[in-house]
Amino acid sequence: MKPAFRAGAAHVRVPATSANLGPGYDALGLALGIYDDVVARVGEDGLLIDVAGEGEDLPHDENHLVVRAMRATFERLGGQPRGLELSCANRIPHGRGLGSSAAAIVGGILLARALVLGGDEALTDEDVLGLACELEGHPDNVAATILGGLTIAWNEADGTARALRRDVDPRVLPVVFIPPFESSTKAARGVLPEAVPHRDAAFNSGRAALLVAGLTGSPEVLVPATEDTLHQPYRASVMPESAALVGELRSSGAGRHAAVVSGAGPTVLVLATSAAEAKELEADAPAGWRIVAPGVAVTGGQLVR
C-alpha cells in the first residue's frame, strides 16, 4: 500500500563529521558544528532542486545524493511521492574529508521519513543507521551525523550496523584546517595495503582505546592517542600537503598538537585542549587554507520545527 504524505515541508539540519580521528580507522567519528540545511516537500509532479553554497555545481537531477537517499527511503516506506521539491543550503565543504556525503545521505533519509505519515514508526532510528550505512558503504561518518558527539561504530557478524555515542569532554576544541582543493575518498582508500604488520594493528588498537578515553575525560593524552600506523602513512603520497601539515603540527617547536587527517582528507583536524591552543593554531595555516573552530555538534541530524 502506497504511503500517505504530509502536505507541508520538512526541514532537517545535519552536522559535518570527522572520521578515523587517527587510529580509529572506519570506527570512530566526531560530529562538528558545521551544518547543512535541507528542506523538502511533496510537489505536484517531477523534481525541482535548488542548491545554495557548497555543491551548487552538482547534478540537479535524480543523481543528487540527497535525492537518491530520499528515493531509497521512500521505497522502504512503501512508494514514491508524485513530485518532489528540494532546497539545500550547504555549508559543509565537499571533497574535504568532513562528511559531506554522510550529511547528504542522512539528511535525505530523515527528510523522506518526515514526509511520510507514520514514518517515524515505520523506519526506526536503528533502521536509519542501517540504511545510511548501505548507501555510504561504512558506518563511521553516518553514525556521527545521526547521533552527534563522539561515536564508535561497527558491523555485527551478519553485517548489521551498530553505533554508540559518548559525550566529548568540554575541554576538547576541534580545529579544522580546510585546504582550497579536494581529494577523492576512492583514491585515498586505493593506496591502502591489503594486509598490515601485526605490530601495527596492535599499536593502533591500543591507541584507539586511549583516544576514546582522551576524548571523554582525559584530553591530556590526545597527542599520543592520535598516533596512527594503519592509514595515514600510506595515504601521504596522495595528499602530501596534508601529511606535511600533520607532521609539522605534531612536532611543533611551540608545543605538539593532536593533529590528524580528517576522514579521507585532505582537511587536517586538530583536537585542541584549550582556547589558547586553538587561538595559537590560527598562525599555522598554509597559504590558501582556511581555519575553522566549529566546536563539537552535541546532537546529530534533526528536524527543525
DSSP for 123-162, written as a single string: S-HHHHHHHHHHHHSSSHHHHHHHH-SEEEEEE-TTS-EE
**CATH 3.30.70.890 occupies which residues in the chain?**
173-292
| Residue given cell 567519528 in the structure block | 29
What pLDDT does 231 receive?
93
**CATH 3.30.230.10 occupies which residues in the chain?**
10-167+297-303
Fold of 173-292: Alpha-Beta Plaits (3.30.70)
- The CATH code of the domain at 10-167+297-303 is 3.30.230.10
- Encode burial over 64-94: b for 16+ CB neighbours within 10 A, e otherwise: bbbbebbbbbbebbeebbeebbbbbebebbb
User: How many whole angstroms separate alpha carbon 32 and alpha carbon 142?
Assistant: 13
User: How many whole angstroms separate alpha carbon 251 and alpha carbon 24?
Assistant: 21
| Contact by Cβ (8 Å): 142, 133 | yes
Profile the chain (305 residues) by mean pLDDT over runs of 10 residues.
91 98 96 98 95 90 97 97 96 96 98 97 95 94 98 95 97 97 81 92 96 98 96 92 94 81 96 93 88 97 92
